[in-house]
Amino acid sequence: MAPEEAAPSILDYRPRSTLVAPTHLVKKARYPAIDFHGHPQGMLGSVESLARLGADLDALNVRMMIVANNVSGDALKRTVATINASPAMKDRVRVLTGINFQNVGPGWAERAVAQLEADVAAGAVGIGEIPKDFGQTIRKANGSRLALDDPELDPIWQAAARLKLPVFIHTGDPQEFYKPVDNNNERWLELFPGRRVSPDRHPNFDELMKERDNLFRRNPKTTFVAAHMGWHANDLGRLGKMLTEMPNVYVDVGAVLYDIGRQPRGSHDFFVKFQDRILFGKDAYQPEEYPYYWRVFETNDDYFDYYRGYHAFWKLYGIGLPDDVLKKVYYENALKITPRLPQTGWPR
Ligand SMILES: [Zn+2]
């Protein structure tokens, strides 16, 4: 049996929910937040644009943004100089540095560590966001694929530990991106051209994650932050196992709110259990999207829309985190793993 009308396409079917339930919109985070996964494109170029960024962040109660734009050398120095010239923002924006993974081979580690030390002297507070081409398309000097756990990279991870720099790393894509785009793929709406990863390509999802975990394991003194909850927010059991096995690993929540918010009981318990290991981060800079995070974290609201239809066609639920967990996720964990951040003036 089917309705008389022709079925709408999946793109057009947007049913109005008739559910009437308590609604608590949260414009501002309950505690001042650090956005550990900042990409404020176009707003770092001048004192004036930084002031606009400051006004946006004030409206959200984001006190500090960590710029994860993977920049090094002169570009990093220019950004830091602009931040320092801004009376309003000089204590509110900090920058991560990038590592140049091209041509790893003899002499690479010495050069990379020297550049890292120079970037720290210029003001960098951590490393990242190491982009997803690392492990996938970057080649070594000898032409082979640069694996995430290549031992030739160890000196840079050891330098990060010595300099107390967290390493923020994005590995691969969500697992459904590696699967056929068919009627069973729950990320169908997002798999527009160029988004899907060919299943024939290596490393595939599991191979990449295995290499990533080897990298984390072989450098236990280095603090790593796996971006996007390591793409395991859809499998919190797996992520929990990883965090339990590897005490040097943290995660940020950027752009995976659709997975956190669809399992409110599981997410609540996970955030409580791993409250010392999760950092707030937003990824794409869209000020109007942050309140969806506050609402998921702070309320117990039922069945509300996500902000981006192509990530998720399903609804979100609040996970009602307690205040002490919110504080850790919003700012305390970022301050703890990033000692070069301004440490004063935060609620304790
Ligand atoms: Zn990012």
Q: What is the pLDDT of residues 84-113, one digit of tens each?
A: 999 989 999 999 999 999 999 999 999 999
Give me the domain span that covers residue 259.
33-288+323-337
Q: What is the pLDDT of residues 181-198, one digit of tens each?
A: 999 999 999 888 888 888
Instruction: Flag whether 145 is in a domain.
Output: yes
pLDDT of the residue at 174: 95
The domain that contains 211 carries what CATH number? 3.20.20.140
pLDDT of the residue at 310: 82
Instruction: Flag whether 333 is in a domain.
Output: yes
Instruction: Flag whether 66 is in a domain.
Output: yes
Interval between CA 199 and ligand 1 midpoint (Å): 24
Residue located via tokens 């599991």: 206
Q: What is the pLDDT of residues 24-46, one digit of tens each?
A: 999 999 999 999 999 998 899 99
Interval between CA 13 and ligand 1 midpoint (Å): 31
Instruction: Flag whether 313 is in a domain.
Output: no
| Mean pLDDT computed over every residue of the chain | 96
Instruction: Flag whether 128 is in a domain.
Output: yes
pTM, to two decimals: 0.97
- pLDDT exceeds cutoff 80 at 143: yes
- pLDDT exceeds cutoff 90 at 312: no
pLDDT of the residue at 162: 98
Interval between CA 23 and ligand 1 midpoint (Å): 30
- pLDDT exceeds cutoff 80 at 199: no
pLDDT of the residue at 328: 98
Interval between CA 285 and ligand 1 midpoint (Å): 10
Instruction: Flag whether 12 is in a domain.
Output: no
Instruction: Flag whether 269 is in a domain.
Output: yes
How many structural domains does the chain have?
1
Q: What is the pLDDT of residues 208-220, one digit of tens each?
A: 999 999 999 999 9
Instruction: Flag whether 7 is in a domain.
Output: no
pLDDT of the residue at 283: 97
pLDDT of the residue at 293: 98
Interval between CA 169 and ligand 1 midpoint (Å): 9
